[in-house]
Amino acid sequence: MDINDALGAFGALSQKTRLDVFRLLIKAGPAGMSAGDIGEALGVRQNTMSANLSVLLQAGLVRNEREGRIIRYFADLDGTRQLLTFLMADCCGGHPELCAQVMETIACNKS
């Protein structure tokens, strides 16, 4: 991931509804969610949700699959991994042990 891709991802996440969608899809895991279910869960109208999902797709943070007439959305874990790798690439000035707590927290899903 280069800096322009990272800026696109951060731009996509800089709006509350899109951040809420992304976090919801992370929680949904491999089952993903339909666009309608996402909109219902967040109280967002269909056309507004469609626009927000499109921004997240363009940023590489979500992916979708068509299931008949339904489109199911998933957090794009590869795109998320690339963004996290970009952020942590130069972590701790060559002392990775200083970043261990951050990495452990992410890996163990601790808050």
Tell me how many domains the chain contains.
Answer: 1
Q: Give the pTM.
A: 0.85
pLDDT single digits (tens) 47-59: 999 999 999 999 9
Beta bridge partners of 64: 73
The tokens describing 111, both together, are: 């808050």
Question: Domain containing 77: what range?
Answer: 3-108
Question: Reduced to 3 states, what is the DSSP secondary structure of residue 74?
Answer: strand
Contacting residues for 67 by C-beta, under 8 A, at least 6 apart: 34
- Per-residue pLDDT at 87: 83
- Per-residue pLDDT at 99: 77
5, 60 contact by CB (below 8 A): yes
**CATH code, 61:** 1.10.10.10
In Å, how far are 9, 22, 37 from 104, measured between CA atoms? 23, 21, 32
pLDDT single digits (tens) 4-53: 999 999 999 999 999 999 999 999 999 999 999 999 999 999 999 999 99
